[in-house]
Structure 1
Amino acid sequence: MNEEKVRIFNTLQEQYRYLGLRTDLIDPDIEFTIFNLRDTLQPLLPFKSPIHRLNFFVFNFIKQGSGQYTIDDKTFPIEPGTIYFTNPGHYRAYEWQNTDEVYLITLSETFLKENIHADIFDEFPFLLAETFPGRRLNEENIAEFERIYLQIHHEYLSRSPFRKRIIANLFVVLLLKIKEHFWLDYNPIYEGNRSSWIVKSFKLLLEKHFRQLSDGQVQQVFRVQDFADAQNLHPNYLSTVIKSKTGKSIGTWIAEKMVAEAKSLLQNSNISVKEIAYRLGFTESAHFSNYFKKHTKMSPAAYRSMQQQTRS
């Protein structure tokens, strides 16, 4: 896909405005939306979207509808009785021929973490799944899901002071049902190519960035935001994928790489500790020394001395 032609949308309102679709069904005050797709797309059918990237989760419940959707380089059919979802960061496009009864739920990672719990991906790791091919359900199971998402829709339209909490709790029920039907044996460590690609890209950029630091080509150490920007991902999403797939946080990866580069410079060069500190982004050599000692239990000077004695 030609990334120059890909639009990135941070909200559903932004996406719908760009596509010329009605936005009055979307409440801008809550990072959660649910409506029947028929109410916004029916007059425009057949409808084909351009390729775009979304920074929010999308769940589709197709009781009666048809078309197809594309995630990255994979295309899947949309048929009656299908359930599918996508998560932030993917290239995405869809075509609709029929939307007689298709309920669409969109929500942000912030909504999940603020209204359910901060460790939502520990309980529901399948939310990080690379792709979720549409799953066909029988009429009984479709009716089971329908009861839940229609109740969510009812609460979404209400003005209850507890609306967010009610919606969040009902959405947990929906997630539990998805987990029950499709993901009981899901393990994110063995999940497919997209998450693996994110981890691989992060590691490659980490290596490149620290080479540039140690060579004096750049002065500022990347933050999580910088690594996320490099892949057009939300920093929280990138952090979650890295932790889920590798067992280590981005902060740990950066710290380990920082110490490894510092050791290499101390061992294999004659430049001063002050210069090493500067190259690795520390404004004060004392800060670098404290950082190095915290992670190695030795000062930079002591480590260099030990390595010199070992070689002699």
Structure 2
Amino acid sequence: MNTTSVKNIRQLSMIDARRFATARLSSATDDLLVIDDISHFDFSEQALQMSFLIFCYCTSGRCHFTVNSQTLCLESGDLFIGVGEQILAKKDVSNDFSAKIILVSHECMQDSIVGLHQLWPFLLYIYKHPVIHLDAAERIWVEGSYTEVLRRVKAYSHRYRRESVTALIRLFYFDMCDVLARRAPVAHTQQTSSYNIFDKFIHLLSDNFRSERNVSWYSDQLCLTPKYLSEVVKNVSGRTAGQWIANFVVMEIKQLLANTSLSVKEIAVRLNFSNQSFLGKYFKNATGFSPSDYRK
């Protein structure tokens, strides 16, 4: 396995995880993996450090574990959502524990949630409450969604296989927003100072990223220094304020390139870039593609 151990922490990449996959979206990029059997993920001796999106639905038993030092318990009918940089360490697992997993790479996640800004306000809740206790109807929905994603990923002869899977993941995000909307208000009054700052930043960013890309503008609105804002956002989410801003802007550019006939110049105007050349450099630095190449 392609892993690197540092201080008893093992780096786990999508390439490492593909050997356990029941099905994967692409043989070349390992951007989405579906895993039926979690038993191969043995991290009893070493913690696992991961940087991809994880949906883990427990079908039986229970597992006590930590994520970034937060102690959690996953039981039958629970859904664990792991976002961003995570260090998972197992504490105790029942003999009958089993779960179904979908792993999504950072790049695939960005592509599939392009334009889904409804999801961002719920990130704070997910960071604080990564294990979601589902009711009976929600369990049926998750199980059905997993089955359909697996079916679509395995439909290798489908001409629009990737597009159909991406559409399913987008639909899952919308449904997940509905699930979280019924829970997020409960935790609103329990936010610590850092989480409260992150929450305000994400909402501010969601409303203003099309015109404002400087960390200093957001810190001014929140009456903080740019350095302190970035430190708080990094501590809460694993990413700096600048990285969050760039993610929002890049996802919006991708959405406009993929779903509209706007020229690169028109997109530059819409997103407050001084010219299309500057937008092109910004986009290529983030994705490795020019806007025209991405649109092809």
Do the two structures share a fold, i.e. TM-score over 0.5? yes
Aligned to 2:151: 154
**1:58 correspondence with 2:58:** no
Residue 142 of structure 1 deviates from its aligned partner by: 0.6
1:227-274 deviations in Å (ceiling 9; x for gaps): x99999678x96227988xxx99xxxxxxxxxxxxxxxxxxxxxxxxx
Unaligned runs of 5+ in 2: 1-5, 202-215, 251-296
- Which residue is equivalent to 1:33? 33
Q: Which range moves more in the overlay, 178-187 or 104-113?
A: 178-187
**Normalized against structure 2, the TM-score is what?**
0.55
Cα distance in 2, alignment partners of residues 34 and 184 from structure 1: 27
Q: Residue in 2 aligned with 1:302?
A: none
% identity of equivalent residues: 12
Deviations 1:51-91 (A, max 9, x none): 23211111111122321221112111111110110111122
Unmatched runs of 5 consecutive residues or more in structure 1: 209-223, 250-312
SS across alignment from 2:128: coil
Instruction: Classify 1:153/1:37 alpha carbon distance in 2 versus 1 (closer, same or farther; 3 Å).
Output: same
Structure-1 separation of matches of 2:139 and 2:46: 29
- After TM superposition, the structure 1 = structure 2 runs for residues 1-312 of structure 1, keeping only pairs within 5 Å, are 4-9=7-12, 11-14=13-16, 16=17, 22-23=19-20, 25=22, 27=24, 28-29=27-28, 30-38=30-38, 40=40, 48=44, 50-94=46-90, 96-98=93-95, 101-117=98-114, 119-120=115-116, 122-125=117-120, 126-127=122-123, 129-159=126-156, 160-183=158-181, 186=184, 193=194, 239-240=243-244
C-alpha separation between the residues in 2 aligned to 1:53 and 1:135? 21
**1:55 touches 1:234 (CA, 8 Å); kept in 2?**
no
The size of the alignment, in residue pairs, is: 211
Distance in 1 (CA, whole Å) between partners of 2:143 and 2:15 is: 25
Query: Matched residues in 1 for 2:234 and 2:11: separation?
Result: 12
CA distance in 2, matches of 1:147, 1:48: 31
Offset of 1:39 from its aligned partner? 6.9
Scaled by the length of structure 1, what TM-score is found? 0.53
CA 114–99 in structure 1, closer or farther in 2 if over 3 Å, else same: farther
1:31 corresponds to which letter in structure 2?
Answer: D
SS of 2:34's equivalent? Answer: strand
Q: 2: distance between equivalents of 1:103 and 1:151?
A: 13
Residue 85 of structure 2: SS of its match in structure 1?
coil
